[in-house]
Every structure is written in C-alpha cells, then in structure tokens.
RNA sequence: GCGGGAGUCGCCAAGCCCGGUCAACGGCGCAGGGUUUAGGUCCCUGUCUCUUAGGGGUUCGUGGGUUCGAAUCCCACCUUCCGCACCA
C-alpha cells in the first residue's frame, strides 16, 4: 500500500510558492478562475469536481510554459449563513448535531457560531485546507473574502458604476414577509425550511351600483372578456373598507393582504354586508364595459383572494358547474343563471366552443362541490395557457397566444383601473410560518433595487460578448442564448445578510449574485492589499476607475486614494497584463444566473478587449448513482475522502467517471482502482530507476513515436477539456503500448533507455491529473526537478514516426491473425509462412486509399481511379482483390489510413525483423516471409497490402 | 409549453461532435480454468447468434430519410432527467 498522506505532504512542500504568478511581459499569460465557494459547510466531492477540472487546466497551461494566474477567494455574502447563526443562537439541536456529527465541527466551537462571520471563517479554513490537500495549484496571494473592507470598496464602486450606466432601477417586488418581525422571509427563516412560493392574482374591480367596488381576484386576467357574472359566497360576511379612494367589499381575511400591497392604507368604513344581500346586484366589468349580475356560489372561499370571483363559464369548470347548480335550484338567481350563455374567448386545438362545459359534462360533474373540479381546472388552464389563442372580440388581445395575453391583459386592466392595487398574492404552498411562529404574508416592497437585465441594448452587448467567447462544451451555447433572452429585472439588494451596503441607500445589502459578477478583476488588487501596499480604507472610486478602467492617471488616482503612485501604476499594469479572464470554470447550475450575469456585467463595464475568453461548464456529481442529498446523508466531505483514499485517486476518479457535461457518478470502487493503478505505476518507475543503457531497438523507436503521438492527442483533448478521454490515453492507452513493447522486447532483452524515457514522458502527461503520483514517479526515475514544473512532453512527430507506427501496426495485426488461426483451427505450428502482397497490389491499394479519402468509396469509383493510374490499372481485373482491399481500407481507423498515406513502411522487412522473433519466442515456430510470387503456396495469391497471406504448418 | 441533457448487447457505462478496425472500450455480474489448505484477492478464457483457418447473420428507444455504407448525420415520435429566477 502506498502511503498517500506522506507522498502528498512531501510534494506539497516542494511545490510551495511555485504557483504564484506575476506579470511578465516576456511570457504569454493565462488567467484561470473558478467560482469561489460559499463557506456554509465543508466542501464535498461535488465541489471538488469543478476545482479539480480548473486545476488540471492550470497545471497543463503552466507546463506548456504559460504564466498562469489561478487565484481563489471566499463568498461570504448572503443570508444562509446568517440564518444558520440565528438557528444556532436559538439552540436548534438538529442543525447543531448535523454540524458536529456530519461536518465534524468540534462541539466546543458551536457557541461562537452564533456569529455568522465565525461560521464563515470556520468553513473558509476548512475548505481552504481541503483545496490545499487536493493539491490544487492555487495562488493564494490574492485570497480575500467578500466582506473584507477593500472588497466592499470595490463592490461600492461597481454598483455606483452600474447605476451610472442606468441599469440599476427601483421598483416594487413581492416577498414572503413576517408581519411580526417586519422582515422578508426566505427558506431558512421559515418553519420547516419552506421556500415561500406565491402566485399572482390580478384584481378586477367590478363596479357595483352606487359606487361601491366588488374586487374579484383572478389568475386569468385574459379571460375578462368572457365574464358573464360575478360570484359571492352567500354565507360569507363582506367587510367594507376604503381602498384607493373607494369603498371595497372584501372577505375579512383579505384586509391584511391588501394592507401589505404597499398601495396605501386600508380603513374600515362600517359594518359588514352579508354575501346573500349582494346577490342580484349589477356589476360593471372594467375595460370590457359590460354589466353583469352578482350570483351566489358556495365554492367561493374567504381565505383565497378577495372573496369575490369573476365568472367565466366557458373556460372555468367551477363557474360552469356553479351556474348549473343555480339553474337547477331555480328562484331568482336560477332565472338569471338560465339566461347566461358561456362566452368563448380562447380557441385551443382539440377543444370545442365551450371547453369548460364540455369537460364538466364529460366528467359527469354533479355540483360545484365535486372534488374533481380542481383537477379539471388545472388541465384546462394548462391546455389553454400553453396552446390557446385569443379569439376576435377580445379587443387588443385578439390573436395573441393565451400566455402572452395573460400579461398583456394584466397590464391593460391596470391602466383601465388607474392606480394600485393592481395585483395581490397568495402563497402557493400556504400556510407558511416564520420561525417566530407568526403566519407569513406576501408583502410588496416598493423600494426594491433591481439590476435591469431586460434592456435591449445591454442584451445586444452581452450577446456580442457571448459570441466572442468560447463555450466549453459547445453544446451549452444555446442554453446561454436562451437565458440571455429571458433575463429580466433582478433584485440586487436585500435587507439582511452579510455583504456590502448599497452606497446610496444604507438599509440595503448588495445581494450575493450581484456582488460576484466582475470580482475576477479584483484579484489583482487584493494581492496588493494583502501585501500591505494598499490601505483598504482609502481605496476610492478614482482608484478603481484608474486601475480597472484606465480612467485618469496613476498620479491622480494615487493622490485621491493616498497610495503612492508607483503602487497604483503597478496595480494597473498587473491588471492590464492578466485581464481578460481566459477561462471561467463553474458547474452548469450557474449558467442561468452567475455565468450569465458575469458575461452581461463584463460586457457593460469593461472594454471589449477585456471581455472573457472562455467559459467551461461541468455537470454535477452523483454518489454511487444517487443524487447527493441536502439532508447530508450521502455527502462525503472532501477532506475526509482525501484522508481515507489519497488526493490523486480521488482526482482521477472524479475526472474519469464522466465527460465534462455529464453527471459524474462518484464510486469508491473507481477510487480504489485508480489508487491501485497509480501504485503500480509508481512501483514500476521505482523498478526502472535512473539506470539503463544499450542500443535502441526498432521496438524502442516505436515506443518513442507512440509517446509523442499520445502527447499530441492528450494535448488536444485537454484543450477541449475532454479530460476523461485524456486520462484514458495516459493510463489505459500507454499501458497497452508498454505491454506490447514488453512483448516485443522479450526475445531480445534491453530497451531500458527507451522505457525510462517513455515513463518520464508518461509521468509528465499524468502530472496535471495526478500531480503527487507523477512527481513520485519522476523522482524514482531520477529525473531533474519535478514533473509538475517540467516542460509538457513534445508532441511533434519525427520524420519516420509514421513509418515506425505503421510497421508496428502490421506486425501486431499479423501476429493477432496468426494467433486467431491457431485458436480457431486448434492446431499447433512449427512453421508460419507469410506471403506479402506485391508491387502492383501496393500501388492499387494506395490509389484506392487516396480515392476513398477523397470521398468516393464505392466500387465504381475505385475502378475508375484504378483505370486512371497506369501502374494500378491491371488490378481492375482482380475484382475480388479490389472488393476486399476496399473493405480493408474502409475498416481501417482514420489514424491508420493517415499513417498508410504518410508512412513509408516496408512490410516484409517489418515482419522479418519484428514479427519473426515474436513468433519464435511466443509460438516456438519459424517465420518465413516470402513475396507473393515466391514459394507457390496455395494461399499466396490472396495476400493484400497489410494483410499478408498466412500459412500455418 | 420553452431551453438543455439522456435512452447502447443482464446491470453500470464508452462510442455519436469528425459516418467505415462497431458485435460495438471498460467495469460489475455470470460460466470455465489457474493460483490458494479454504474463502477473498489476483491471473487467464468465454459471455447476441450461427460457424470453426484469420468467417457469416441480426442488434445500439420507435418509425422514416440521406448515403456505396449509420449506434454515429437529418426529420418525426415515445420515454426520462435538469432548469424556467430574484436562492447560493
């Protein structure tokens, strides 16, 4: 067993400091960043994936000679940590035992976790240690947190700049709200950790005779043209309240909801009215200007909406059923109901003129109390919302798809009704309770700050930035384009949580997805702050304007912020050197938010030459086939995994379990087998050591060529972040080559020099993926320095590489054919005779190969190509040969075809020098290599190029 | 509904972008053999089907199409996973 812990710590010591990068005009730079972590828990395998990918990228670029800046920071901004602190303070045993038992937090430290910053610091250190232990080659000199004073200055500068550019706007916005605390609630504030989710109802003010208003709340404002009557519950009391300058009749439960809409005071104006007393009144539908009657319905609920409902019997099953109930019951209301006909206003494929009526009839609904009405309503709503079109007679809505009409109708009604409240909200997952026990309501904040991502010019700019960068893998680009299309206003500040105060409105804190959009530019600054060369307190807008945007002079900026001029100039030049971001790595869950905001904000803030160059998106990680659950049950903390299995085995397991975009299934089996593979590679290198000598055999030359070829393949795979495949080439691919080389070297012995060179190259190729093991191998081989600081193995082929590789393919293929014959014929052999195809056949093969590469691969084209070549024309007569040779060519790999075109291999010579010893050694048989016409064997004529005729005796 | 991913020989899972070594990498399972006191580990062989001198047939969600040739490209459909926000 390899002792990973001691190997890893040994190499970490040796590497210390080598990852720090500074501006160096003589070298090409690469700025590689990963989304910084949120320190509210230790990192697990899933987090490890993104960071490992980025680290491989950074290590690879470094070995290729690039000056790589790969920094890290910690995102303290946000509310979850605050929520945790509050729960700790209130003694939440569930959370505490989770922290202690699953996350391994020492119990004596729990009390200090009542302070959210202490929580963040704790997990910050935890995560940082894990990153170091995983061998990530992070440059820590620019490390910061998002609540550092200097970072806050940076964010203040950023939001002021965004406001100057006109993208920060104020508006109203509904949130879950605790009336007792007068504070917004989100998931971690609620009992049972429920995320408040709500739906919007449009208020339609039905004007009763005498000036009173009966407001109906509806989720389908587009159906207002189909209203035939209004519903009230006859058994309910309706409160009289003054709202927006008129007297409204609403359910008592509605009063508090109205008062949270930020639409002025809601005052009681007298005693309540019984629903039954409203029946029969005439109400005017706003906008449509149609008079309808108020009718009684028992399905109307006091706790939903306003307590009054508009009736659209053509499109609402409840309304349809309630009218039918009235008709049957008779009386005055029944008379009115009988006179009502459904008004169809939406046409939907596959539905008739009375969609609700048809559904109700088909289901055999007996009354408005039927429970199936709920389901029917949902079905019809979904069908019409997604597939319906507004019919003529619906004013400006006519012809619109229903889903568009919904928004348009809400807007139009708001205009008709002049002034708020226009909409009200209900929790869709009610009831929701605050942790203090109070029932929550939906509250409208009218002074909410937004970043307005909806602006057309900004979108155009962002699309240009997206078009100019590389998305890896390319399949993700359409998803970005789609997101860019629907991005709208986004709340950019909250009233609680850690972070930076809005400079112009101190009650608000910049929200976490808004203070993380251009922070990569701040890494350059933070290194100067950490080094004590900049005073965090004195950093001001003039400073950031200069160093990040090049505005003004270093002298002016220095004067303004009190730093010395050279320092400011140096920050500016470091920034100019390292920006733009060459590669941004993150999980795909950040595509619709962070990564999109990252592009938008860069496009707006920075000049085009500083726009990001590449985004790399990876899928998530499953544990043994299952999704990692937030309940922490199957989450393995990364540090624990490193302690138990070693960093490199985990790195390999993460990398080789899936290609970039797919969900990686993390299996301990894979970790263990990776560990074994690395162990055997290390011990093989130890066995080879630094010694060796002797002449290089053809097999040795071949091995060198194979290593060069592999290096080229691996490079191009890493460039496309196809790391799984790259790892396979380094591990399995070279394994097979080394095994073949061992077979070939067995008869003659030797090969030690070539072997050592091949293993050294292999160690270097492995280094980005498994850096500790690679350096251990490198050292065993007696190489200078470290694999991780060595130059990436050369991949350019030497002159005769193609011929070497091709000859060896021929040898291997003939050997495998011979063995196959022996196996299937169940015979032994004392002599194997090979007949190698003659000159005319070779010529014909080349002609056909070129023709096939040119795209014409049918027999007819082959015949024509052969006819056009004097040296090969004669072979046309041998139709069987042409047919078989064509299928040989077509079934060859692209690589092999390329080698056949490029390489000038002497088949017969390859068999004599390479195959004969192998046949003698492994089969104990003599190999005779003859020309096609020699020896007159029965099979000789069937020889084809790279497919010799074989006779076993 | 929209956007994206995925459906492969018992299971997991490569290949698909760049159509032809694809009956289709690899692992698990299963069968046989070796190592071993035994078990485990480890090694070898086999694992759609018919053959038995390096071979043929039928397969890669379903149905069409393009092509000399399709798991791979195009179209339609079915199934399934993820996202559609103000949360990091």
Distance A387 CA to B76 C1' (A): 20
In this complex, the residue with its CA at the shortest distance from the C1' of nucleotide B82 is A589
Q: How far apart are CA A770 and CA A727, in angstroms?
A: 10
A766 band by pLDDT with thresholds 50, 70 and 90:
very high
Helices in A795-838 by DSSP H: which ranges?
Answer: 801-825
Mean pLDDT of A462-484: 87
List, in sequence order, every beta strand (DSSP E) within A187-251.
198-208, 213-218, 229-232, 237-243, 246-250
Q: How far apart are CA A504 and CA A41, in angstroms?
A: 33
**Structure tokens belonging to residue A489:** 């206003």
Distance A842 CA to B54 C1' (A): 21
Q: Is A510 helix (H, G, I), strand (E, B) or coil?
A: strand
Estimate the crossing angle of helix A149-164 against helix A596-605, to 10 degrees: 70
Q: How far apart are CA A746 and CA A818, in angstroms?
A: 19
> pLDDT above 90 covers what percent of chain A?
35
Smallest CA–C1' separation from A75, nucleotide: B88
User: Please, what sign has the CA dihedral across residues A941, A944, A948, A952?
Assistant: negative
User: Please, what sign has the CA dihedral across residues A815, A818, A820, A823?
Assistant: negative
Distance A816 CA to B35 C1' (A): 27
Is this structure's pTM higher than 0.90? no
Mean pLDDT of A79-94: 85
Q: How far is CA A150 from CA A144, A529, A569, in A?
A: 9, 8, 18
Convert the pLDDT of each residue in A930-939 to its tens digit: 988 787 667 7
Q: How far apart are CA A761 and CA A763, in angstroms?
A: 5
Question: For strand A831-836 and strand A664-666, is the pairing parallel, antiparallel, or unpaired?
Answer: unpaired
Task: Look at residue A154 in the predicted model and tell me its pLDDT.
Answer: 97
Query: Among A675, A651, A615, which Cα is nearest to A53's?
Result: A651
A48 band by pLDDT with thresholds 50, 70 and 90:
confident
In chain A, the N- to C-terminal Cα span, in Å, equals 48
Identify the DSSP state of A438: P
Task: Look at residue A61 in the predicted model and tell me its pLDDT.
Answer: 96
User: Which positions of chain B lie under 7 Å from any protein Cβ?
Assistant: 1-6, 12-15, 18, 20-21, 23, 27, 52-54, 68-69, 82-88
Burial class (CB in 10 A: 0-12, 13-18, 19+), A98: middle
> pLDDT above 70 covers what percent of chain A?
95
**Structure tokens belonging to residue A229:** 């009557």
Smallest CA–C1' separation from A184, nucleotide: B86
For the ranges A300-309, A396-405, A594-603, A776-785, the lowest mean pLDDT is seen at A396-405
Q: With 80 as the cut, is the pLDDT of residue A823 above it? A: no
Contact in structure between A357 and A350 (CB atoms under 8 Å): no
Task: Look at residue A189 in the predicted model and tell me its pLDDT.
Answer: 62
Smallest CA–C1' separation from A725, nucleotide: B14
Cα Dmax for chain A: 121
Q: What is the DSSP string of A712-766?
A: HHHHHHHHTT-HHHHHHIIIIIHHHHHHHHHHHHTTT---HHHHHHHHHHHHHHH
Q: How far apart are CA A522 and CA A636, in angstroms?
A: 32
Smallest CA–C1' separation from A38, nucleotide: B88
Distance A895 CA to B42 C1' (A): 35
Mean pLDDT of A406-427: 81
Helices in A579-693 by DSSP H: which ranges?
Answer: 596-605, 638-645, 647-656, 668-688
Burial A709-746 (b: 16+ CB within 10 A, else e): bbbebbbebbeebbbbebbbbbbebbeebbebbeebbe
Distance A924 CA to B41 C1' (A): 33
In this complex, the residue with its CA at the shortest distance from the C1' of nucleotide B26 is A732
Q: Is A203 helix (H, G, I), strand (E, B) or coil?
A: strand
Smallest CA–C1' separation from A450, nucleotide: B86
User: Please, what sign has the CA dihedral across residues A583, A671, A630, A103?
Assistant: negative
Q: How far apart are CA A340 and CA A114, in angstroms?
A: 64
Smallest CA–C1' separation from A385, nucleotide: B1
Q: How far apart are CA A799 and CA A784, in angstroms?
A: 28
Mean pLDDT of A141-167: 96
Q: Is A5 helix (H, G, I), strand (E, B) or coil?
A: helix
Estimate the crossing angle of helix A668-688 against helix A647-656, to 10 degrees: 120
Q: How far is CA A250 from CA A27, A35, A39, A55, in A?
A: 73, 50, 47, 62
Q: Is A606 helix (H, G, I), strand (E, B) or coil?
A: coil
Task: Look at residue A632 in the predicted model and tell me its pLDDT.
Answer: 45
Identify the DSSP state of A280: T
Contact in structure between A861 and A849 (CB atoms under 8 Å): no
Task: Look at residue A238 in the predicted model and tell me its pLDDT.
Answer: 92
Distance A766 CA to B76 C1' (A): 46
Distance A592 CA to B85 C1' (A): 8
Identify the DSSP state of A277: G
Mean pLDDT of A534-538: 94
Task: Look at residue A394 in the predicted model and tell me its pLDDT.
Answer: 82
**Structure tokens belonging to residue A757:** 């060179």
Element (H, E) at A543: helix A541-549
In this complex, the residue with its CA at the shortest distance from the C1' of nucleotide B15 is A725
For the ranges A195-204, A340-349, A858-867, the lowest mean pLDDT is seen at A195-204
Distance A476 CA to B86 C1' (A): 23
Task: Look at residue A885 in the predicted model and tell me its pLDDT.
Answer: 86
Q: How far apart are CA A382 and CA A486, in angstroms?
A: 21
Smallest CA–C1' separation from A949, nucleotide: B54
Smallest CA–C1' separation from A596, nucleotide: B85
Smallest CA–C1' separation from A825, nucleotide: B53
Burial A636-663 (b: 16+ CB within 10 A, else e): bbbbebbeebbbbbbbbbbbbbbbbeeb
Distance A290 CA to B60 C1' (A): 63
Other C-beta atoms within 10 Å of A857: how many? 14
In this complex, the residue with its CA at the shortest distance from the C1' of nucleotide B4 is A479
Distance A167 CA to B79 C1' (A): 44
Q: Is A508 helix (H, G, I), strand (E, B) or coil?
A: strand
Q: With 80 as the cut, is the pLDDT of residue A688 above it? A: yes
Contact in structure between A155 and A164 (CB atoms under 8 Å): no
Identify the DSSP state of A74: B
Q: How far is CA A909 from CA A802, A804, A885, A931, in A?
A: 15, 12, 21, 11
Task: Look at residue A186 in the predicted model and tell me its pLDDT.
Answer: 64
Q: With 70 as the cut, is the pLDDT of residue A190 above it? A: no
Contact in structure between A542 and A556 (CB atoms under 8 Å): yes
Distance A780 CA to B42 C1' (A): 26
Identify the DSSP state of A654: H
Residues contacting residue A690 through CB under 8 Å, at least 6 positions apart? A756, A781, A782, A783
Distance A860 CA to B70 C1' (A): 21
Query: Among A556, A564, A554, which Cα is nearest to A533's?
Result: A564
Smallest CA–C1' separation from A822, nucleotide: B53
- Token pair 């038992």 is found at A101
Convert the pLDDT of each residue in A613-652 to its tens digit: 999 988 877 776 667 765 546 677 889 889 888 999 889 8
Smallest CA–C1' separation from A943, nucleotide: B54
Distance A673 CA to B42 C1' (A): 14
Query: Within 13 Å of residue A233, how many CA atoms lie on the same side as its CB?
Result: 20
Convert the pLDDT of each residue in A576-615 to its tens digit: 999 999 999 998 888 888 999 999 999 999 999 999 999 9
A297: phi then psi, degrees, rounded to nearest 5: -150, 135
Complex ipTM? 0.85
Q: Average pLDDT over chain A, rounded to whole?
A: 86
Instruction: Tally DSSP H helices, then E strands, for chain A.
Output: 34, 30
Contact in structure between A664 and A49 (CB atoms under 8 Å): yes
A514: phi then psi, degrees, rounded to nearest 5: -110, -15
Contact in structure between A139 and A133 (CB atoms under 8 Å): no
Task: Look at residue A193 in the predicted model and tell me its pLDDT.
Answer: 58
Smallest CA–C1' separation from A494, nucleotide: B86
Other C-beta atoms within 10 Å of A921: how many? 14
**Structure tokens belonging to residue A660:** 């970039």
Other C-beta atoms within 10 Å of A392: how many? 10
In this complex, the residue with its CA at the shortest distance from the C1' of nucleotide B55 is A824
Q: With 80 as the cut, is the pLDDT of residue A826 above it? A: no
Distance A589 CA to B83 C1' (A): 8
Task: Look at residue A404 in the predicted model and tell me its pLDDT.
Answer: 78
Distance A388 CA to B1 C1' (A): 11
Calculate Rg over the CA atoms of chain A.
38
Distance A476 CA to B66 C1' (A): 27
Q: With 70 as the cut, is the pLDDT of residue A370 above it? A: yes
Query: Among A92, A198, A80, which Cα is nearest to A499's?
Result: A80
Convert the pLDDT of each residue in A429-453 to its tens digit: 667 777 677 778 888 877 888 899 9
Determine the distance from the C-alpha atom of residue A45 to the mean position of all C-alpha atoms in its chain, rounded to a whole number.
16
């Amino acid at each position: 067993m390899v002792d990973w812990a001691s190997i890893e710590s040994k190499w970490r010591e040796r590497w210390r400091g080598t990852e720090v990068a500074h501006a160096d005009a003589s070298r090409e730079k690469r700025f590689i960043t990963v989304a910084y972590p949120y320190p509210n828990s230790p990192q697990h395998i899933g987090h490890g994936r993104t960071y490992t990918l980025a680290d491989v990228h950074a290590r690879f670029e470094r070995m290729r000679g690039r000056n790589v800046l790969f920094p890290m920071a910690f995102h303290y901004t946000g509310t979850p940590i605050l929520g945790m602190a509050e729960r700790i303070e209130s003694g939440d045993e569930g959370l505490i035992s989770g922290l202690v038992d699953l996350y391994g937090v020492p119990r004596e430290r729990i009390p200090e976790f009542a302070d959210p910053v202490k929580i963040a610091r704790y997990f910050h250190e935890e995560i940082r240690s894990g990153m170091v232990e995983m061998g990530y080659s992070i440059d820590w000199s620019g490390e910061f947190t998002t609540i550092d004073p200097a970072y806050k200055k940076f964010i203040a500068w950023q939001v002021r700049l965004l406001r100057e550019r006109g993208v920060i706007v104020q508006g109203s916005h509904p949130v879950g709200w605790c009336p007792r605390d007068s504070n917004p609630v989100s998931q971690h504030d609620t009992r049972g950790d429920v995320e408040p989710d709500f739906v919007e109802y449009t208020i339609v003010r039905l004007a009763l005779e005498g000036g009173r208003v009966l407001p109906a709340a509806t989720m389908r404002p587009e159906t207002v043209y189909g209203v035939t009557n209004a519903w009230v519950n006859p058994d309910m009391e309706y409160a009289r309240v003054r709202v927006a300058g008129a007297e409204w009749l609403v359910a008592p439960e509605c009063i508090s909801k109205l008062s949270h809409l930020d639409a002025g005071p809601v005052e009681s104006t007298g005693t309540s009215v019984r629903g039954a007393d409203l029946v029969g009144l005439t109400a005017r539908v706003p906008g449509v200007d149609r008079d309808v009657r108020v009718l009684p319905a028992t399905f109307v609920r006091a706790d939903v909406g306003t307590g009054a409902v508009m009736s659209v019997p053509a499109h609402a099953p409840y309304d349809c059923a309630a009218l039918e109930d009235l008709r049957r019951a008779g009386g005055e209301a029944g008379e009115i109901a009988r006179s009502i006909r459904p008004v169809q206003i939406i046409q939907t494929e596959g539905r008739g003129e009375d969609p609700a009526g048809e559904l109700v009839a088909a289901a055999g609904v007996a009354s408005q109390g039927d429970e199936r009405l709920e389901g029917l309503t949902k079905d019809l709503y979904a069908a019409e919302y997604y597939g319906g079109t507004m019919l003529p007679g619906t004013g400006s809505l006519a012809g619109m798809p229903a889903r568009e009409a919904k928004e348009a109708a809400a807007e139009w009604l708001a205009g008709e009704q002049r002034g708020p409240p226009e909409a009200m909200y209900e929790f869709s997952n009610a009831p929701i309770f605050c942790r203090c026990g109070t029932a929550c309501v939906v509250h409208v904040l009218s002074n909410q700050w937004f970043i307005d991502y909806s602006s057309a010019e900004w979108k155009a700019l962002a699309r240009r930035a997206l078009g100019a960068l590389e998305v890896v893998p390319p399949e993700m680009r359409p998803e970005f384009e789609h997101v860019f299309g629907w991005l709208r206003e986004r709340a950019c500040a909250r009233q609680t949580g850690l972070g930076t105060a809005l400079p112009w409105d101190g009650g608000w804190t910049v929200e976490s997805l808004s203070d993380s959009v251009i922070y990569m530019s701040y890494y350059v600054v933070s290194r100067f702050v950490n080094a004590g060369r900049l005073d965090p307190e004195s950093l001001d807008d003039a400073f950031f304007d200069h160093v990040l945007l090049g505005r003004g002079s270093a002298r002016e900026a220095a004067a303004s912020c009190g730093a010395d001029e050279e320092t400011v100039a140096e920050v500016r030049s470091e920034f100019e050197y390292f920006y733009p971001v060459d590669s941004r790595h993150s999980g795909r869950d950040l595509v619709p938010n962070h990564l999109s905001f990252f592009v938008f904000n860069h496009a707006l803030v920075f000049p085009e030459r500083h726009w990001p160059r590449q985004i790399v998106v990876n899928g998530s990680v499953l544990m043994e086939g299952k999704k990692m659950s937030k309940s922490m049950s199957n989450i393995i903390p990364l540090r624990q995994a490193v302690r138990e299995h070693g960093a490199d085995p985990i790195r390999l397991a993460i990398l080789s379990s899936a290609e970039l975009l797919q969900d990686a299934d993390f299996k301990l089996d894979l970790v263990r087998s990776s560990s074994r593979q690395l162990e055997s590679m290390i011990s093989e290198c130890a066995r080879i050591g630094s010694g060796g000598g002797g002449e290089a055999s053809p097999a040795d030359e071949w091995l060198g060529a194979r290593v060069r070829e592999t290096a080229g393949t691996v490079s191009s795979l890493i460039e496309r972040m196809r790391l799984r495949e790259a790892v396979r080439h380094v591990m399995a691919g070279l394994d097979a080559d080394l095994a073949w080389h061992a077979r070939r070297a067995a008869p003659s012995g030797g090969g030690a020099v070539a072997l050592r060179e091949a293993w050294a190259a292999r160690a270097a190729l492995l280094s980005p993926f498994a850096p500790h093991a690679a350096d251990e191998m490198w050292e065993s081989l007696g190489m200078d320095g470290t694999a991780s600081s060595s130059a990436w193995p050369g991949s350019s082929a030497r002159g005769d590489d193609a011929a070497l590789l091709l000859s060896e393919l021929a040898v291997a293929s003939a050997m495998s054919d011979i063995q196959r014959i022996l196996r299937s014929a169940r015979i032994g052999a004392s002599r194997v005779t090979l007949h190698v195809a003659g000159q005319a056949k070779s010529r014909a093969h080349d002609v056909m190969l070129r023709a096939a590469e040119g795209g014409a691969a049918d027999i007819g084209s082959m015949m024509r190509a052969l006819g056009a070549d004097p040296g090969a024309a004669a072979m046309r007569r041998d139709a069987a040969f042409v047919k078989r040779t064509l299928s040989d060519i077509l079934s060859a790999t692209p690589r092999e075809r390329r080698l056949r075109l490029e390489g000038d291999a002497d088949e017969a010579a390859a068999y004599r020098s390479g195959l004969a010893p192998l046949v003698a050694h492994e089969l104990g048989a003599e190999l005779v290599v003859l020309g096609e016409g020699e020896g007159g064997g029965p099979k000789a004529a069937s020889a084809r190029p790279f497919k010799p005729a074989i006779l076993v005796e």
